Amino acid sequence: MLNKLPIISIKELSYTYPNSTEALRNVNMNIYESELIGIMGKNGAGKTTLIRTLNGLIQPTKGSIFINGEIIKNKSIATLSKEVGIIFQNPSHQLFANSVEEEIKFSLKSLNLNKEELNFRVDKILKDFNLEKYRKRSPLNLSGGESKKLALASIICRDPKILVFDEPTLGQDAKEINMFINLIKNERKKGKTIIIITHNVEFAFEYIPRIILMTEGQIIADGPTSKVLNNEILIEKTSLILPQTRQFVMKLKESGFPDLDNLISKNQIIDYLMKFIRKEKTFIKGI
């Protein structure tokens, strides 16, 4: 991975809001093609500000951002949005058209597609997202989960290389989260780079391989999820909680179970416990 050129390269990025709040301070990071990364940290850590700089919604006060090796400074939001699709938390902030179909067409309008291509893409995305039955329905009459799906569809239909999700699991039920997990798996298969802002530790621990932790506008950790999220000091600094597996391992440690240091995933813990139970059984039989 290190031999490849990063698809996103952020160098010494700083941003101060007009009211003098320093939202980002000297942020440096590289993100590689088809990578799936999570950005975590407490509220006000600068996560959303950071993603807003990626498609030019915010112009950094200092530093630079390179996408595909090109500096984005002089590019318009309309141009950058073809490369970076940001899906914001609240779907009702973008739905306005008369029908679900029109909503998708609005997103595709700026791509200057011919009629056939436009209709093809609309049909495909409605089918992919199981929204065909709502084609003629007003987006304002959709349920929360369906609105979220439509908001996702309206960005993904533009086929950006980089997808950025702001709190995608917030307020979602288990079925909707599963749908989202399948979606990111499919998009990764297509070679998309995915960035997810989340507070959901369990979701991040299970599905995201690399985590960036932020606090007070700075990156304090960047590495494999199992290492970052199992680090108690880092977790404490970012007001997160340890993953349930780690908490369970700590409880086992307190109860005197030996050799627990290398246990990270659910499966490793299950294997460890199974071995332990088998041993105990043999011991009892022996008696």
Q: How far is the CB of 141 from another protein (least distance, A)?
A: 11
| Binding flag, residue 114, another protein (CB under 8 A) | no
| Binding flag, residue 170, another protein (CB under 8 A) | no
| Binding flag, residue 274, another protein (CB under 8 A) | no
28-57 residues in contact with another protein (CB under 8 A) are 52, 55, 57
- Select the residue interacting with another protein from 77, 170, 270, 277 (CB under 8 A): 77
| Binding flag, residue 5, another protein (CB under 8 A) | no
Q: How far is the CB of 83 from another protein (least distance, A)?
A: 11
Q: How far is the CB of 73 from another protein (least distance, A)?
A: 17
| Binding flag, residue 107, another protein (CB under 8 A) | yes
DSSP the chain: -TTSPPSEEEEEEEEE-TTS-EEEEEEEEEE-TT-EEEEEESTTSSHHHHHHHHTTSS--SEEEEEETTEE-TT--HHHHTTTEEEE-S-GGGT--SSSHHHHHHHHHHTT---HHHHHHHHHHHHHHTT-GGGTTS-GGGS-HHHHHHHHHHHHHTT--SEEEEESTTTT--HHHHHHHHHHHHHHHHTT-EEEEE---HHHHHHH-SEEEEEETTEEEEEEEHHHHTT-HHHHHHTT----HHHHHHHHHHHTT-S--TT--SHHHHHHHHHHHHHHHHHHHHH-
| Binding flag, residue 85, another protein (CB under 8 A) | yes
# chain residues binding another protein, by CB under 8 A = 28
| Binding flag, residue 140, another protein (CB under 8 A) | yes
For residues 153 and 249, which CB has a smaller minimum distance to another protein in the complex?
153
Q: How far is the CB of 199 from another protein (least distance, A)?
A: 18
List residues binding another protein (CB under 8 A): 18-19, 52, 55, 57, 77-78, 81-82, 85-88, 90, 92-96, 106-107, 109-111, 140, 154-155, 158
